[in-house]
Amino acid sequence: MVAGTVLRARGVDVSLGGRRILAAVDLTVRPGEVVALLGANGSGKSTLVRAALGVVPTSAGEIRLFDQPLASAPWRRIGYVPQRIPAVTGVPTTACEVVRAGLLSGHRLRRGTRAQAVAALDAMGMAALAHRPVQEMSGGQQQRVLIARALVREPDLLVLDEPTTGIDLGTIETFVATIDRMRRAGTAVVVVLHETESFAAMLDRAVVLRHGRVVHDGPPPPARAEHARPEHEHAHPHPVEPDGVLGDLVGGGDA
């Protein structure tokens, strides 16, 4: 278990392409906490996690990871699954190699990392494909490899940007059980979600963004199972919570 805060953002502004994307965002995550980032398309969820990890620059505010400024953040304690799969190179790379890359320390792979990598792939139901090139895999299979690459690091902070997109329900269950084990051991989790359903049981808090501002930071909204069904009609009006924020999370995009 780690002491202090895992992630602390204060007054963070981000501008991209001449537009202000995040405005005065505060976010605190403590050890073992599972925090969902929610909000309509384009509300700034991915930008917030990318800023928190130093992938996009901030124009104001302060970000600290494990009580350190970004410049000296302990990256080996952090696992990140981005929303989009980075373009794969033309060189065939097996799933096992991708996952082992998550264990690189300096330029060398430590001994025994192959077994660790295969175990992480197994947790994502991918052990049988460990030696298949990721270039030959479906989008959902590639996503599972990226999740395994983050899990194998046994991070103290796991950042997941819409991790379950394109993954079948059985694998989601295994994945959620793995995350649950990790957070019981003290790992903090920040997860960008559209539907809280699969993570609902373990969410401590939800932070809701709208137009780049935090409009709610507190209890997560109740999961609405009907939204996950293919026949669900998203155009119907949703019940509005007392503060008017959580009830229309799935409303129209911000972009």
Nearer to ligand ATP, 42 or 54 (CB): 42
Nearer to ligand ATP, 96 or 193 (CB): 193
Residue type, position 230, single letter: P
**Least distance in Å: CB of 162 to ligand ATP?**
7
Residue placing its CB nearer to ligand ATP in the complex, 85 or 109: 85
User: Does 251 interact with ligand ATP (rule: CB under 6 A)?
Assistant: no
Task: Show the tokens assigned to 88.
Answer: 């794969």
Residue 210 CB, nearest approach to ligand ATP (Å): 10
How big is the chain, counted in residues?
255
Compute the least distance from the CB of residue 32 to ligand ATP, in Å.
25
Q: Which is nearer to ligand ATP, 25 or 137 (CB)?
A: 25
* Cα separation, 247 vs 224, whole angstroms: 10
> Judged by CB, which is closer to ligand ATP: 38, or 134?
38
Restricted to residues 229-248, the positions that interact with ligand ATP (CB under 6 A) are none
What is the pattern of x (binds ligand ATP, CB under 6 A) and - over residues 151-170?
--------------------
- Identified binder of ligand ATP from the candidate list 6, 7, 12, 21, rule CB under 6 A: 21
- x/- site string to ligand ATP, residues 40 to 79, per CB under 6 A? -xxxxxxx--------------------------------
Q: Among the candidate windows 28-36, 38-46, 101-109, 232-240, which touches ligand ATP by CB under 6 A? A: 38-46
Minimum separation from the CB atom of position 253 to ligand ATP (A): 7
Cβ 45 to ligand ATP, closest distance in Å? 4
Mapping DSSP onto H, E and C, the string for the chain reads CCCCCCEEEEEEEEEECCEEEEEEEEEEECCCCEEEEECCCCCCHHHHHHHHCCCCCCCEEEEEECCEEHHHCCHHHEEEECCCCCCCCCCCCEHHHHHHHCCCECCECCCCHHHHHHHHHHHCCCHHHCCCEHHHCCHHHHHHHHHHHHHCCCCCEEEEECCCCCCCHHHHHHHHHHHHHHHHCCCEEEEECCCCHHHHHHCCEEEEEECCEEEEEECCCCCCHHHHCCCCCCCCCCCCCCCCCHHHCCCCCCC
Task: Tell me which residues touch ligand ATP (CB under 6 A).
Answer: 16-17, 21, 39, 41-47, 255
